Amino acid sequence: MQLGLSVSDSDVSSFTPLVVLELADDTKAEAITWLLNRIRGKQQNGGAELLVDQLLFPAQDGQKSNQNVFVVGSTLQRLLKGAEDVGLFKEFQDGTMRGFTYANRESFKDFYGDGEGFLSDAECQYIIKHELDTLRAKNEEHVPGYPKVKLYPGKSVVRRLQSKGVLVQYFPLHNKEDLKRLSFSWYKKIKLSFQPLDDIRHYFGEGLALYFGFLEYFTFALVPMAFIGIPYYLFDWEDYDKYVLFAVFNLVWSTVFLEVWKRCSATLAYGWGTLSHKKAFEEPRAGFHGALGFNPITGREEPVYPSSKRQLRIYLVSVPFVLLCLYLSFYVMMVYFDMENWAISIYNENPNLATGILLFVPSIIYAVVIEIMNLLYRYAAEFLTNWENHRLESSFQNHLVLKVLVFNFVNCFASLFYIAFVMQDMVLLRQSLATLLITSQILNQVMEAFLPYWLQRRRNKKVHKRMRRMMGDKELPLLEQVQLETEMNTYLGTFDDYLEQFLLFGYVSLFSCVYPLAAVLVVLNNITEVYSDAFKMCHVFKRPFSEPAANIGVWQLAFETMSIISVVTNCALIGLSSQVKAYFPESETQMILIVVAIEHVLLAFKFILAFVIPDVPKHIQVKLAKLEFDSLEALKKRKILEAAET
């Protein structure tokens, strides 16, 4: 872990910089000294016992640059003890995954000598983040130099500095050699193969690796749908009997797909040591505020915000706002149908190539408007959820996901439901679905990959020129790397990535029976998505901190909900087919009742299938049970020894 790196003209760091800490340019000197002393201080005195050095940047074009940039590292022994504190699971000599303990470190597989290389970079950075986040105020009433930035015993120092803008950002540094190797095995070689999920997890952590695992799994799971969909689309399209069969296959596929994914994610999480990882006690969010009160769980003083006030904000402001946005979405949809009717009338009056192309213009415009509305609503939803003042980050994320999913579902699918069940125009439904899919995929690739990459390249060129002017012939690679990464965009997590896959899953599971090529388009999109997402993670965004994850969290529930909606939708589409109606020429009510009965049978079959397929494979269940048994036996032996000693 030791590496000599130059951090300034006169100072050479004796440790590997892992995390960058940037304070505001005008931060008071006494606040900086106090914070650095706390970071370097001994644990028994309330410090983090980490290593920290200041980076000294020369003046830029005659202007003084921000000198309050620091790199943080740690000794190997401190990291190993920190691994025990955060509850990391590692592979034991017998092949089971066990919680790491410093005392038994030599009993773990791959632990050799002093433990060099035992922890990945991502795990080391996660440990440092945990130690920084759990730095707590002792007897200070305020941050030194900032009388208005109040503190109280037990308050997280870093979160307080973040919420007041004193701490601008802190992020993990990229490891250039590891990043180069990962890039080569991940996206630089265009080949049909599985992603290097273990390498991704080693570099970025389990949360991001699970997203890419899900993306890969979803893409492969769509291949059977795509292969079946191509001949369905090419031959005898107007024979609606075939899409009845395709709809039934769709229902079975969506259920099996999600249930098997649970098993896959459990297998991955067990191998990465996160399946049994106990979630740490959640600290209040950095932006959470309220009157100082007493937390009965921790016994510490901290801000308290009445739940009744939060509920009032949710039900009197947030819910009406969401309903208003949904109304606006419906209004835009009706404008789209007016445009569609206008284009059709022009084509009917004068059918030619130009008016034929005009038929697709309303759908394209509507698809672009949908993406813009989704983007604007996302910002509004974040503002509202933040204003609701949720105490915990998990609560904040759940409320944000719910708001965004409801609006995106209505905004993206309302027009398709209207065309299918009100207008009952299957030709227009196919056209609208195809246009929405293709347009949204093109826009997503531009907004998510190409535009950020272009902007990042411009920033990189400016930084390189500035650094050459400042440094001259001197080589200070760490300064340049930190300067580059400081100005990179911050990766905001997998929220938008999962949301995109959720909407694509909706297009396939809800309406692919009337447009079987939907699965083909999604497969093509996801293949490019793997490469574009891999590229942006390696070269466009700052490296995110690793976050232990055992599954895809609330998104599993979102996908399962969409799967249930797809059962109802596909049964309703089957009921609309002319062949089914022909069986009930005199009684439409009887047909509806039979379709509803079939829908209930399929839902029951879906839930039985979900129950029959275990979420965790049998061999992993055995290993988890063995670990629990060994833990109980060890506890009994310890109690017997303690009793014998007394």
Given this model, what pLDDT does residue 469 score?
A: 54
Of 529, 622, 607, 550, the closest CA to residue 262 belongs to 550
CA angle 597, 601, 606 (to 5 degrees): 145
Q: What residue ranges do the domains of the chain occupy? A: 19-173, 197-305+389-615, 618-645
Of 594, 444, 551, 579, the closest CA to residue 507 belongs to 444
**Where in 555-596 does DSSP place strands (E)?**
none
Given this model, what pLDDT does residue 6 score?
A: 36
Please tell me the distance from the alpha carbon of residue 119 to that of residue 115, in angstroms, as a whole number.
8
Q: Which residues contact 304 (CB under 8 A, 6 or more apart)?
A: 290, 291, 292, 293, 294, 295
Of 98, 90, 92, the closest CA to residue 123 belongs to 90
Q: Which residues contact 439 (CB under 8 A, 6 or more apart)?
A: 363, 364, 367, 368, 371
pTM comes to 0.86
Q: Which H/E stretch holds residue 143?
A: strand 142-143
DSSP 15: S
DSSP 422: I
Q: How far from 375 is each of 47, 70, 291, 372, 447, CA to CA, in Å?
A: 42, 35, 34, 5, 11
- Report mean pLDDT in 10-residue bins for the chain, 646 residues: 37 73 89 91 86 78 71 91 88 83 86 86 91 85 85 81 88 90 82 82 92 93 86 63 71 84 90 75 68 68 80 92 93 90 85 80 87 90 89 85 91 89 84 84 74 66 57 60 82 88 91 83 89 85 88 89 88 77 74 81 81 82 78 74 70
Q: Which H/E stretch holds residue 404?
A: helix 393-418
Using DSSP bridges, classify how beta strands 146-150 and 69-73 pair: parallel, antiparallel or unpaired.
Answer: unpaired
Helix axes 495-511, 393-418, angle to 10 degrees: 30
Please tell me the distance from the alpha carbon of residue 221 to that of residue 625, in angstroms, as a whole number.
31
